[in-house]
Structure 1
């Protein structure tokens, strides 16, 4: 994500590990937290250290977020710094009166139950600190990774899933189009309580109805254990070439409308046609006001506790 500059977007990396910060590109704003607490090292998997580090670095974080109107906070839940610091960073962003969206990942099954338990605790603490929270279950990404792929590739796929959705929403706001979606529209949709998702659908000229296929792909949303059925807030944007017609877009929009709540708040945008997108269609979709679902396989076997934590119905002690 850091290698994909977007107009109007400032990237900020917040960490306790000074070596990690030193490896960031020079055009990225690096914020070291817990300088005295960790002495430039990581949190050692201790979420309490991550939380205290964020508190120690509160002024630096607040200064970095000054004048921000929309803040995406991304973190991998289950580790020390991300899990512990993310809720504090979110609180600081809210104090700056920004719209704050959390986009987090849960651990892969192979990372162990303890790490997932820590992730649930982090999600529980982060949820009330943000305007909306999008959770990506890493195990869902494994279907896109070959069995013999290195472990690092699985984490790279998870990072790409997070960055693609965030960049797409940022481009909706900052890149002018034929029909524009602005920050007020995003705030209106993201302010609707409940579960949320970001999805992207793509199709090309090999499809008879590419716009509809892109919509169906986004609706099916294979990356998340959640769909848009019953959603009370929808924001979507089509981009394509000069061959993309308003009729195609209308049919695809109707397909989306049939899946959501009858009283759903909907905003629609259409990017300026581009020759680079000729014979291609891309749909970016944001849905809110939906019920979160459980992760699959062994995580689901942990029972109703997981569901209640993810939906905010239960607090972990």
Structure 2
């Protein structure tokens, strides 16, 4: 285990539990990990303010990070690892670097730089930088690295399927997602298929705001949506029971979402609006259907025809342990 006896200071905002999975995998690989939420709080208001402009809460955020720096200043780290880095200041990063001169500072962006106003300010401080978004990598000269699937999805891919649904969706509601999802599920249901959708808003306030702004939501009821993320066990159960998964990425995003990689890991079919997926080594038109956002069409039989295995050497490259090896070993 290449992380045996290594120490890692790890910062990531809460992200549907993925930060805990990353920490657990690093520990499984032999590391001692000190994890801290990169945000000082996770209320809707705090998250919104940071996304709009972290300077709105600069003093509050800086005091939070200063307490962490003070708490960890006497520990020795081999790596300081940030996911996204949407709230840390350049000054506090410089302080971490000063206190831990032997540590490699590394950042991974799993959101587009356009969605993170802080990203460009802090980028020069890091020794290594990675992103899931190819255009960001080409523009900024950082390394391209797609996301990963967890061991749980690999296990689903090995199991005998017990299909209950032809298509499932789990995700937050944004942009044109709701209207597009209804058009796709409508096609499958009219052909006799079964669909399941877990549509999530971070708050009821956000639902009412979007309902006023987005005409596709105007005929909906608050009862049509959920206001808490689906627990991991529920998501894994849906993967076991579903032939195919739909992914509708944000229109400003080109990198593949976690859902795309997880679906490949679970050996399920994928319907996606992200045409960039055709550039990836695991793309197979038998398994992955790219649909037009304006006119999505699902050919009859796509979800019910058998999944075709991809080469093992390609499949294995997207495991979480291989993802971490790339980031930390580089």
Q: Would you call these one fold, judging by a TM-score over 0.5?
A: no
Greater strand fraction, Structure 1 or Structure 2: 1
Q: TM-score, normalised by structure 2?
A: 0.33
Higher CA-based Rg: 2
Q: TM-score, normalised by structure 1?
A: 0.34
